Structure 1
Amino acid sequence: MAKPTRWVTETDDGHSEWYIERFRTMAAEGVDLVGEARLVDAMVPRGARILDAGCGPGRHAGYLHAVGHHVIGVDADPALIAAAREDYPGPRYEVADLSELDLAALGESEPLDAILVAGNVMVFLAPDTEIEVLRRLGAHLAPDGFVITGFHTTRDLALTDFDAAVAAAGLRIEHRFATWDLRAWHGDADFAVTVLRHP
C-alpha cells in the first residue's frame, strides 16, 4: 500500500476540485497550458509511446494524443483522472501511485519512448519515495527513451537530493535547463527541468 502523497497530506480539502477548475478556466481563457508537452513532442518521433506521469486533469496527455502519440496518463488522485477523462478524452488514463507503477499489470507492456513528469509532481510525491518512483519510471523506458521532469527547487525536494535519487535509481542526467522553454541552467534558478536517460 502506497504512502499518502504530499498532494493529499499537504493540501486542504477541496484542493483537487480547485485545481481542476483553475485549469478549466485558464483553458477557456486561451492560456497556453501545453508548453511542456510541445517540448516532449519535439523530442520524439510521431507515434511515440509516452507516459504522462502525474497527469493531473490531462492537458499534456490530451495534447500529445492529439498530435499522434500513444499516451497513458496516470495520477494517484481519482478526481484528477475523472477530469482528464472528461476534458481530454483519447489517452488511456489510470489511477496509480507512481511509487507502485506497473504498466504491464495494466496491459501496457511495451517500453516507453518518453515519460513526462511535469507540474511539480516530484515535490508532491510521498516523502522518501523519490528513488523508487524514478526507478519504476526508468524500468518502463525503452533503451533510448527518456524521462523529463520539472519542479520548483525551493519546495520540498532539494535539487541535490533529487540528483542523488536519480543516481540511486540507476539513471543519469543528460540535460538540465532553468525553464521548460530551455533557458540555460544557472545556480540561482528556482526551477529545474531535467532530462534523464539510462546510463
Structure 2
Amino acid sequence: MSRWKELTGGTSGEDYARRFAALAGSGRDMHGEARFCAALVPPGARVLDAGCGTGRVMIRLAELGYECVGIDLDASMLAVARRQAPELNWIRADLAEFDPAECGAAADFDLVVAAGNIFPLLAPGTEARVAGRLAATLRPGGLLVAGFGLDEAHLPVPPGITLAEYDACCTAAGLTLVDRFATWDADPYEGGGYAVSVHRC
C-alpha cells in the first residue's frame, strides 16, 4: 500500500480541492509547477502528469496549450479532476504497475511532471520501479521533473527517499540529472528540505 493511501484512505479528493481553492482565494500563486514546466518545453508539447491528483497542474498546462495526460490511483482525486476538466485525459492507474503502452503513453512524452511529493508517498520499495515506468513514457531527450520534500517539515509523513536514492533510481532507469532547484520558482538548490529535480532521458 502506498504511503498516500495509508495517510488519506483514498477519500480526500474533495478536502484536498477545498484546501487549494482556499489558498487560491487568498491570493496565493497556485501555478508555480506549471510555470516551471512551461519554461522547459514549448506549448504543444506532450506532458504526462504522474500522480495528477485533482488536476491543478495539468489543467493549467492544458490552458497554456500543452497536450496532457494525467495518471493517479486515487479515485477521489480523479473524480474532482474529471469534474473540473472532463475534456482532458485522466487515467486511473498505479504508477508502480501501469503499462505505458496500454495507457497510450509509451515513449511519446516530452515531459513527465511528478509534483506534490509523489516519490516520498509511494509504497516503500517501489520508487525505482516507478522511475523506470515514467522513463519509459519519455521520448529520447524528454524530461522527468519531480519536486518533493526531504524532511518532516516539508512532508506529511516521515521522509521516505533521499536525493541520492532518487538519483540512483533515475540512473537505473536511464535518466541523467540535468539540474536541481530549491523551489518551483527555480531558486538554486543549496541543500535544504525540498528539491525540484530535472532528469533527461
With the length of structure 2 as denominator, give the TM-score of the two structures. Answer: 0.89
Contact 1:123–1:157, Cα closer than 8 Å, also in 2: yes
Q: Which runs of 5+ in 2 are unaligned?
A: 152-158
- How many residue pairs match? The answer is 194
1:185 and 2:189 aligned:
yes
Contact 2:10–2:74, Cα closer than 8 Å, also in 1: no
Shift of 1:178: 1.1
| Residue 124 (structure 1) aligns with | 121
Q: Percent identity?
A: 41
Greater than 4 Å deviation, 4+ residue runs: none
| Residue 112 (structure 2) aligns with | 115
CA separation in 1, counterparts of 2:38 and 2:104? 24
Q: Which runs of 5+ in 1 are unaligned?
A: none
Shift of 1:141: 0.3
Closer/same/farther in 2, CA of residues 13 and 133 from structure 1, 3 Å limit: closer
Q: Please show how residues 84-99 of structure 1 align to structure 2 within 5 Å.
A: 84-99=81-96
Shift of 1:52: 0.6
CA separation in 1, counterparts of 2:107 and 2:189? 33
The SS at the match of 1:195 is: strand
Aligned match for 1:164, one of 143, 161, 168: 168
Q: Please show how residues 12-31 of structure 1 align to structure 2 within 5 Å.
A: 14-31=11-28
CA separation in 1, counterparts of 2:127 and 2:189? 22
With the length of structure 1 as denominator, give the TM-score of the two structures. Answer: 0.90
1:194 and 2:191 aligned:
no
CA separation in 1, counterparts of 2:79 and 2:56? 13
Q: Please show how residues 144-163 of structure 1 align to structure 2 within 5 Å.
A: 144-154=141-151, 155-163=159-167
Contact 1:62–1:89, Cα closer than 8 Å, also in 2: no
CA separation in 2, counterparts of 1:13 and 1:178? 29
CA separation in 2, counterparts of 1:6 and 1:13? 11
The SS at the match of 2:102 is: helix
